[in-house]
Structures are given as structure tokens and as C-alpha cells.
Structure 1
Amino acid sequence: MPEGDTVWNTARVLADAIEGQVLTRSDFRVPKLATVDLSGWLVAQSASYGKHLLLRLTREPDRAMTLHSHLRMDGAWRTYKPGERWTGRPAHLIRVALHAPASVAVGFHLHELAIVPTAEEHRLIGHLGPDLMGDGWDPAEAVTRLAARPDRPIADALLDQRNLAGIGNLYKAEVLFLRGVNPWTEAGAVPDLPAMVDLAHRLLNSNRGRWTQTTTGSLRRGETNWVFERAGRQCRRCGTTIERWTGGDHDRITYWCPHCQPVVPAPPGP
């Protein structure tokens, strides 16, 4: 699933292609929006919040609405020059095409596609925690939300977008490894939640503007991650075999090093 940095990058691509332009035509290929016509609307802003994409549109005198989309596991936006062939994805996966004078933005296999008044965006994203990639990032609020359920495994808590928005399976695994925290540690027992939240923020933002995600600092193929998708291989730090397990609230794969991320026994009772 695309994570917050990938969605942020996608928003920038759309901004470069159609932001500031008036749409000449739109083509929605989903039943609920099939009759919508966005011709004449100005693309005022292409933005992201966590894993959500928000195309904010305006039309005089004072009309504003937002085209919202979510990429989930397999969605994508691509941009093309007018008249250019729409390559890269099968045509039957197209959900929307937005035509502007200089570019065409095509959304493939998008999810949760919806249009709402911009003033009502909270209906779609108001439940989310602080945006790790946003200008209004609030680490204290993210810590508070993670700590609100102290008995919840930290791996599940990090994936819950209501706590902090933007972390997916890759950053979950890498943040936990770098902090030396076992995925099944209860959130209330994590030694330093603020440091974990700060690390997540720094990792995602370090990959702004590039499509290759790295948490090791290396951009070489096969060297970008510590534990993510490295099950059965040796830990880069200690040589222990990386393990994987599927489950939890989100039924997602978890990767970890049993030596670097040991299970910490609960403290003895009174």
C-alpha cells in the first residue's frame, strides 16, 4: 500500500500537471459520479493528508469543492500530455480522467472516489490523526492518541490512521526495528513514544520528492530497508534471521529481528 510519502509525491505530480489550470473536460467511470462534469472548474490545489489525495477545485464566485481519492493497495494517478497515449495501466482500470490545457490527469483503480464541498472535507478525513507529512504536524497529539489504548500492540497502533496518518507496513516495520521495539509490545510499555513518533516523522519526510523509499540511507537495490520484506535473511546489525508473521488488527505482514527487537517481559506485579 502506498504510504504517506508516496501519496505526498503523487500530490506534487498532480500539482505540477494541472494545478492552476481550468479543466476543459472530465470523465468519471464510476457509477455514482458518472454524470459529474468538472469542465470550467479551476484546480486550485493538489494536496495530501496521510494516505488521502485531495484535489481542491474552485469556480466563481465562491464555489469550492474537493475531489477525494485513496490509492489503497493498487491505485495510481498518472499524467500525460494532451493527445499522448495513456500507457502504464490497463484502460479498464481507469476511474477518472481530468483534462486541462497542458496535461491530462488519469486515475487508475482509485478507491473512495468522492466529491464534497471543500468546507466539508472533515467528513472524509476528520477522523484521522495528525498528518506526518503535513505543515500542521502535531507530535504531541500523535503520542496522546497512541497512548490512549495502552494495552494495544504497538504494531497495530502505528497502522491505525486515527492515531497518526501516513504510516503503512513499511514504515511500521522499520520504525519498530530502529527503536528496538518488538511489534507485540503494548503501546503503554513502549519506552519512549515521543521518540518513536519523531522517528516516524523524520523517516517519511526524508523520502519527500523521490519514489525510492529508504530507511537505511542507501538507495542501492536490496539495501534500502532494515527488515521490511527481508524475511529469512540476516539482520544487517546482528546477523539473526529476520522473521515474519501475518495477523493483528489489520491482518498485515510484520517483519522483525528477534534479537534486536526482543520480547520484553511485563514488570512483576505489586
Structure 2
Amino acid sequence: MQAKVFHKQDIEFYSTLVCMPEGPSIVILREAVEHLKLAGQKIQSVEGNSKIDQHLLPGQTVLSFRSWGKHFLICFKEFTLRIHFLMFGSYRINERKETPVRLRIQFASDELNFYTCSVKLINEPVDLIYDWSGDIMAVEWNAANALEKLKRIPQVLSCDALLDQDIFAGSGNIIKNEVLFRIKVHPLSTLGALPEPKLKELVQEVRQYAFDFLRWKKEFTLRKHWLAHTKKTCPRCNIPFIKSHTGKTNRRSFFCENCQVLYLDID
């Protein structure tokens, strides 16, 4: 049976994931497959260059779709298929790219295509593997837990902490740059030097910005709302931003040395 194709605006909304995916983008993918009502359906066939035991998938019935950070989870009775989008992962729904597919999953009338990602089969129950309270998009998100984790690593730089998936699952470089600009914190500030109200503000804004990100991405206006990420001029001070690869993660940071305070321990 030929796979049905969405109208153009639906394809743009549901089937394209830009490079450097962050948690909100994975939520959009999860909502897309839920929209297609694929849970409860059987897999008809699979193909692709992933190294998993692909022969285990045909005939399996999908129980549910879940997401955690940059991980997209397809849950079956005996195991879970994990798609990790890494830095440059992408997907297409009922549409294909010319590049080699990592994994194609064919249902009765729909197909999911995953590219440039890590694919793994997980045999353990996912509730034992994933801390849902650490996912910045999850209903189970626990801000108090995140705050305690930050307090345990006082020497870590703010720019690195915001990319730590064990603390902020789903936070990526866009969220890092925008949150630090919002709360006026220099990316090289150490966590231990941040006043507690500022540390709490950091945790609060990660969650807030994630849902702003989700709303703007659905509106196709995300880039229009960037205040710091990839920008050249500070909109508060009207002076040039600093662009630098910062921290152990060595990711691009865009920040203002005038209004973003550098908090450092006296020692």
C-alpha cells in the first residue's frame, strides 16, 4: 500500500527536524506519530544501515511512543527501540531524503525514516533507565532535583551545566545561549559562585525557554525570537556580542560582556 503523504504545511510541521535537535523538537516528533495513531499498529518491515537486529522488529506491535531529552523511544512488549539524534540527527515522516537511511520503519500506510542518528535496542524497562524528572519537557520535571544537582558541582561552568543531559535532559546549545542571556549570566561563570536566587532563576528559565522554544517552533518563528544565539549585537546594550567556543563541551557561545555578569569563586 502506498504511504499517504501530508499536505505541504503538515510535512513542514511534522517531518523535518533541523540539525542540533533539542528536547522540544523531539516532543514535536512524538506528537506527530501520536497524531498518526501508530501506537497499537504492527511494523510491516524495516530497512536501513543501523547495526541492530532488524529482524526482531517486523510483526512487533507498538505499545507507545515516549521521549526523553534527545532520545525518541518506540516501546514494545519485550524491548524498546531508542533513536538518539545526537548532534545532526533528522527524520522524515511519509517522505524520504536522498541520503542513506539509518532506519526505515514501515507500517500499514505510514513510514518513519531516521537519518544520522544512533539506533539501539534496549531490553531493560525504560522506567529503570530514564529519570523522567530530569527531562526539561516532561510532566515529571522536578526543578528541586535539578537545583540540588547543580549545587553538587560548584566548579562546573554554567555553559557546561546547561548542556549536561543528566541535569537538563533536552537542553542544547540554543537553550544554553538564550537562557544565559535571559538571566544575564556569563557562560564562564562557575555554578558555585552564582547567588542562590540566580541559580534558581537558571533552573526556572531552562524549563520556561524550552516551552517557548516548542511554541515558536510550531509557529515556524523560532529563529525570529533568538536574542543571543548566532547573533552579532546585544539587543540590550547595542554592542557586539562575543562569539567563543566555551567550556569542556567546546560549543559555540554568544554573549555580552557588558550585561552578562561573570560570577567566579574568589579562590
TM-score tier by shorter-chain length is 0.7 to 0.9
Establish whether residue 27 from structure 1 lines up as the match of residue 31 from structure 2: no
Q: Is the 8 A contact 2:157 2:189 kept in 1?
A: yes
Establish whether residue 69 from structure 1 lines up as the match of residue 88 from structure 2: no
How far apart are residue 259 of structure 1 and its match? Answer: 1.1
Residue ranges of structure 2 left out of the alignment (5+ in a row): 1-19
- Residue 65 of structure 2 aligns with an amino acid whose one-letter code is S
Change (3 A) 1:22 1:250: same
How far apart are residue 7 of structure 1 and its match? Answer: 1.3
Q: Name the residue aligned to 2:158.
A: 154
Q: In structure 2, the residue corresponding to 1:236 is in which secondary structure? A: coil
- Residue 46 of structure 2 aligns with an amino acid whose one-letter code is S
* Structural mapping, 1:1-270, within 5 Å: 1-17=20-36, 18-33=38-53, 35-58=54-77, 64-80=78-94, 86-87=95-96, 89-92=97-100, 94-111=101-118, 113-117=119-123, 119-120=125-126, 122-123=128-129, 125=130, 130-191=134-195, 192-208=198-214, 211=217, 219=221, 223-230=224-231, 233-264=232-263, 266=265
Q: In structure 1, the residue corresponding to 2:207 is in which secondary structure? A: helix
How far apart are residue 234 of structure 1 and its match? Answer: 2.0
TM-score with structure 1 setting the length: 0.82
Q: Is the 8 A contact 1:56 1:65 kept in 2?
A: yes
TM-score with structure 2 setting the length: 0.83
Q: Is the 8 A contact 1:9 1:210 kept in 2?
A: no
Q: In structure 1, the residue corresponding to 2:202 is in which secondary structure? A: helix
CA distance in 2, matches of 1:247, 1:196: 18
Q: Is the 8 A contact 1:26 1:37 kept in 2?
A: no
Question: Kindly, what percent of the aligned residue pairs are identical?
Answer: 24
CA distance in 2, matches of 1:210, 1:241: 26
Change (3 A) 1:220 1:37: closer
Q: Is the 8 A contact 2:105 2:111 kept in 1?
A: yes
CA RMSD of aligned residues (A): 2.3
Q: Is the 8 A contact 1:129 1:162 kept in 2?
A: no
Change (3 A) 1:195 1:52: same
CA distance in 2, matches of 1:167, 1:121: 21
CA distance in 1, matches of 2:48, 2:26: 21
- Residue 109 of structure 1 aligns with an amino acid whose one-letter code is T
CA distance in 1, matches of 2:147, 2:241: 28
| More strand by percentage | 1
Q: In structure 1, the residue corresponding to 2:140 is in which secondary structure? A: coil
Give CA deviations for 1:22-52 in whole Å, capped at 9, x if unaligned.
211222422343x423222122211110111
Give CA deviations for 1:55-98 in whole Å, capped at 9, x if unaligned.
1123xxxxx32100111122112111xxxxx43x2242x01111
How far apart are residue 118 of structure 1 and its match? Answer: 5.2
Q: Is the 8 A contact 1:129 1:164 kept in 2?
A: no
Q: Is the 8 A contact 1:28 1:36 kept in 2?
A: no
| More helix by percentage | 2
Change (3 A) 1:11 1:104: same
CA distance in 2, matches of 1:66, 1:100: 17
How many residues align structurally? Answer: 245
